Structures are given as structure tokens and as C-alpha cells.
């Protein structure tokens, strides 16, 4: 078997046909419906108790963004008429003693940061201030400003917080530092905040998507009263897995879970490429010895490396050569570099096509005939920085909808988790 035939076998296993795309959309619709009805589904379809802003909200607001080791605070002015101005932000580094001890230490530190920020920005002490809180950890919401923490992720382990209302914990901490004139008015995850931020500027925006280290989506459900629903689509599991996907899943910390996320998100793209390269190395596809040993190491290839490889348009594929050198392959051939670039293209193309197909599923849940305009707000490093990712999403939407695809606008919405939380807070009395 020639080298190109071996690559074609891999490509075929990752390909999504038009027939498969239609079946995926139908399966996704079924899981959405079941999730909304409380039936068995791979999609949680969580109510957020949030509505889209009207665009007329006004005033100065604070927003908090907690989803990693950098805690961010935003101040912004909503001018009404769908305009935002005077955006200021500050980041605070959360150390191990803040995230791995007790909830009092974590939320006490956050409250201290808010107090310092408000003093530096000269917020009035005689006026009540509404705060929006983007909290990107698993929660069960029962109101717009009430959500119980189901469990920590991302290395956080502040004891005493799980099973408690996050808003109550932070409001208590704010009182503890003397900020009786502040209160959390809205709680949301980053996906919901992304939708809220864009829809303040664009009334056609009715879907939010995160395509970064992880992936998720939300949309506007209008069955009775309008509400933004958090899909948690990373767990969608009605997907055809290749042998490479199965190997990745079996060796992950959560086998059988977050199936879509393992095929689309930045956390896993590098590892899928690694597993494919390891398999092809065992079949003798590379000129230089040592590839199998290098690619046998979990986590050796990251999403940023995949982006670097795919973006290389130099005659000698110098960027690819540098990546391989960093991995331990000091003398790669041009053929080897071309093969790795092709593997990266195959893996990321499937990821972008899957994202597009599920966007199509959500949009047609809201508008089966695609008769009106829809703006999809998207944030995340994979969508923003991975070469060709956004272009392939648009192309796939064109394949699915033909001319009607022009009714879907994709909008990169950066720093939305801060702006969106403040906008949601502005809607609350």
C-alpha cells in the first residue's frame, strides 16, 4: 500500500457524508427534545432563567468572570440603543491557597478583589451596584441569581462550596468586606454570557457557542416564555467514533462522557492527531525512525501545535520541522512533515464540520425552515485562531442549507463572558 492510500484510509474514517450530517441533525433534535422534557438524553438542556437583553438597558455595571486561575473584573457602561462603552477590566491571579482550601478563602479573596477594584474605579459607596457573575463550573440553576455548585473542575477544590448556592456564598463574602451596597443579580456560564453580550448589540443573535479548550452552546427557547437554554452539547454521544476516538476515550479520565468535546475541542485535538500519527508510524509511513516512540506519550502534542502545523505554508514546512524537533524528531524529511500536516488537516476539518452540523441543528430547532436571520455569537481560541476553522464551518453550513445559509451570521465575540454577565445583571430589578 502506498503512503497516500494509508492517509486516504484515515481520511475516510473521519469523513462526514451529507447523509450522516442529516442523521446527526435528527439525532440532536431528538436529544434536545428529550432533554427539555426530562427524558433520557445526552444533552442536559439546563434552564438558565435568563432572557436576551432588549438593547435599551442603561447604566454602569460590574461583571465577574471566574473560570480558570485568572479571576477577572469588568466595569462597563450600557448606553442603551445597543451600545456599550467605557469597558475597563482587571485580572487577579488565583493562587493554590485560594482554589484548593475552603470556600471562605476563595470567596473571601474574590470579595477583596472586588472591593479593591471598586475603590480604584471610585464607585459610589452610597449607591447600590448590580453585579453579573460568569461562573464556568457545573451548576444547577433554579433562578437567574441562584445556582448550586454540582462539583469543581479545572483544578479547583475549595471545600464547603459543593452543594451550596454560589450566589449566596459570594454575597455573604461581599458583606464580610463591607460591601453592603453590592449584590449579585445574575449568574451565568461563559456560553450564556457570550449570547447575552452579542444579543445586546444584535437583536438577531439567538445562539451562543464556545469553541476553545472546551465546547458548549446555548440558544433561545420560545416554547412558552423566552428563556436561554444551556445545552451542554459537549456530552452529545450520537456520533460515529473512529478507532482513534475510542482509544482517546478509553484512556481519558472520563470514559464514555463528553464524547463531542473529545472530537471538537482544543483540549483533545492534539491528542487525536498524536494517536493517528502513532498508528501510521507503526505501519511504516514515516521516513525517519522514532515517530511511534514520540507519539506514544500522552499529551505530547497540543492544540497549539496542530494550529502551528496547519498554518505552515513555507516551501520546506519549516514550522512543522520545528514542532517535530521540539518533540524529539531532529531530522524529519519533507515527506514526514507533509504527512503530519495532512493528519492535522483531517482531524481539524472533522471538528469544524461537526461544530457546523450541530449549529445547524440548533438553528433549525428554533427556525425549521430557516426563514429568518440568525446571528451565532462564538468565542474560543479554536474558532478564533485555528487556521481555516471558521471558513470550514461556513462552508459546511453552505453544504447543508444552500443559499439559505446566508441567513446565518457567525460572529466572533471576544471577552463576552464579562460583558454578558453585566448585561444580564442590568435586566434584573
pLDDT digits (tens, 9 = 90+) for 291-330: 999 999 988 999 999 999 999 999 999 999 999 999 999 9
pLDDT band per the 50, 70, 90 thresholds, residue 29: very high
Give pLDDT, residue 273.
98
- How do beta strands 70-80 and 83-93 pair? antiparallel
pLDDT band at 428 (very low <50, low <70, confident <90, very high): confident
Q: Which positions ≥6 away from 240 have C-beta within 8 Å?
A: 20
Which element (helix H / strand E) includes 401? helix 389-401
**Angle separating helix axes 3-14 and 266-282, nearest 10 degrees:** 140
Phi and psi at residue 70, to the nearest 5° = -105, 120
Residue 115 cell numbers, joined:
472591593
**Percent of the chain residues past pLDDT 70, beyond the cut:** 99
Separation CA 411–CA 99 (nearest Å): 33
The 10 Å Cβ neighbour count of residue 100 is 16
Residue 51 has pLDDT above 70, yes or no: yes
Question: 7: pLDDT confidence band, cut at 50, 70 and 90?
Answer: very high
Q: Which three cell numbers stand for residue 334?
A: 519533507
| pLDDT above 50 for 14 | yes
- Give the model's confidence band at 1: pLDDT under 50 very low, under 70 low, under 90 confident, else very high: very low
Q: Are 105 and 127 in contact (CB under 8 A)?
A: no
| Three-state DSSP state, 367 | coil
pLDDT of residue 419: 86
Catalytic residue among 154, 283, 316, 404: 154
- On the question of pLDDT at 269 being above 50, the answer is yes
Mean pLDDT of 31-52: 95
Cell of 172: 455573604
Domains annotated on the chain, with CATH? 1-46+195-415 (3.40.367.20), 58-188 (3.30.420.40)
User: What are all long-range contacts of 25-29, with beta carbons under 8 Å and residues at least 24 apart?
Assistant: 25/357, 25/358, 25/360, 25/361, 25/364, 25/400, 27/238, 28/236, 28/238, 28/358, 28/361, 28/362, 29/361, 29/364, 29/365
Beta bridge partners of 237: none
User: Does residue 11 have a pLDDT over 90?
Assistant: yes
Reply yes or no on whether 140 is catalytic.
no
User: 217-243 pLDDT, tens per residue?
Assistant: 999 999 878 999 999 999 999 999 999
383 confidence band (pLDDT: 50, 70, 90): very high
Strands 182-188, 227-230: pairing kind: unpaired
Report the distance separating Cα 211 and Cα 346, nearest Å: 18
| Average pLDDT for the chain | 94
Residue pair 217/191 in contact by the 8 Å Cβ criterion: yes
**C-alpha distance across the termini of the chain, in Å:** 69
154 is catalytic: yes
Residue 60 has pLDDT above 90, yes or no: no
Cα separation of 131 and 185, whole Å?
A: 6
Q: Sheet harboring 182-188: ordered strands across?
A: 83-93, 70-80, 58-66, 129-135, 182-188
pTM to 2 decimals? Answer: 0.92
pLDDT recorded at residue 2: 53
* List 31, 165, 190, 336, catalytic entry: 190
Q: How far apart are CA 82 and CA 199, in angstroms?
A: 9
Greatest mean pLDDT range, 60-69, 113-122, 279-288, 346-355: 346-355
Give the residue-averaged pLDDT of 405-422.
Answer: 91
Amino acid at each position: 500500500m502506498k503512503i497516500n492510500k494509508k492517509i486516504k484510509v484515515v481520511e475516510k474514517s473521519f469523513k462526514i457524508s451529507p447523509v450522516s450530517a442529516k442523521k446527526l441533525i435528527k439525532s440532536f433534535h431528538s436529544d434536545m427534545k428529550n432533554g427539555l422534557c426530562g427524558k433520557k438524553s445526552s444533552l442536559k438542556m439546563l434552564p438558565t432563567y435568563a432572557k436576551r437583553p432588549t438593547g435599551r438597558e442603561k447604566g454602569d455595571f460590574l461583571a465577574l468572570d471566574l473560570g480558570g486561575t485568572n479571576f477577572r473584573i469588568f466595569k462597563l457602561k450600557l448606553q442603551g440603543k445597543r451600545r456599550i462603552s467605557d469597558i475597563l477590566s482587571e485580572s487577579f491571579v488565583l493562587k493554590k491557597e485560594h482554589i484548593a482550601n475552603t470556600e471562605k478563602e476563595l470567596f473571601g479573596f474574590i470579595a477583596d478583589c472586588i472591593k479593591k477594584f471598586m475603590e480604584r474605579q471610585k464607585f459610589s459607596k452610597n449607591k447600590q451596584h448590580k453585579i453579573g457573575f460568569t461562573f464556568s463550573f457545573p451548576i444547577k440553576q433554579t433562578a437567574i441569581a441562584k445556582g448550586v455548585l454540582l462539583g469543581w473542575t479545572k483544578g479547583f477544590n475549595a471545600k464547603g462550596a459543593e452543594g451550596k448556592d454560589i450566589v449566596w456564598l459570594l454575597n455573604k463574602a461581599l458583606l464580610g468586606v463591607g460591601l453592603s451596597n453590592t449584590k449579585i443579580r445574575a449568574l451565568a456560564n461563559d456560553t450564556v454570557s457570550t449570547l447575552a453580550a452579542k444579543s445586546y448589540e444584535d437583536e438577531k443573535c439567538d445562539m451562543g457557542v464556545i469553541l476553545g479548550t472546551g465546547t458548549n452552546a446555548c440558544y433561545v427557547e420560545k416554547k412558552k416564555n423566552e428563556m436561554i437554554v444551556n445545552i451542554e452539547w459537549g456530552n452529545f454521544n450520537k456520533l460515529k467514533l473512529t478507532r482513534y476516538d475510542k482509544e482517546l476515550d478509553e484512556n481519558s479520565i472520563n470514559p464514555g462522557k463528553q464524547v463531542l468535546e473529545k472530537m471538537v475541542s482544543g483540549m483533545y485535538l492534539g491528542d487525536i492527531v498524536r494517536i493517528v500519527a502513532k498508528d501510521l508510524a507503526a505501519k511504516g509511513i514515516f521516513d525517519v525512525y522514532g515517530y511511534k516512540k514520540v507519539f506514544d506519550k500522552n499529551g505530547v502534542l497540543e492544540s497549539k501545535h496542530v494550529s502551528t502545523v496547519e498554518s505552515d505554508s513555507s516551501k520546506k514546512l519549516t514550522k512543522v520541522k520545528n514542532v517535530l524537533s521540539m518533540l524529539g524528531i531532529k531530522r524529519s524529511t519533507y515527506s514526514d512533515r507533509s504527512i503530519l500536516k495532512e493528519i492535522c488537516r483531517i482531524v481539524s476539518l472533522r471538528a469544524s464540520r461537526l461544530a457546523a452540523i450541530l449549529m445547524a441543528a440548533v438553528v433549525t430547532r428554533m427556525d425549521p425552515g430557516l426563514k429568518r436571520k440568525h446571528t451565532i455569537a462564538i468565542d474560543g481560541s479554536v474558532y478564533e485562531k485555528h487556521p481555516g476553522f471558521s471558513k470550514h464551518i461556513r462552508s459546511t453550513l453552505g453544504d447543508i442549507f444552500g443559499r439559505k445559509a446566508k441567513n446565518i451570521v457567525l460572529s466572533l465575540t471576544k471577552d463576552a463572558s464579562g460583558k454578558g454577565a453585566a448585561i444580564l445583571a442590568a435586566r434584573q430589578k
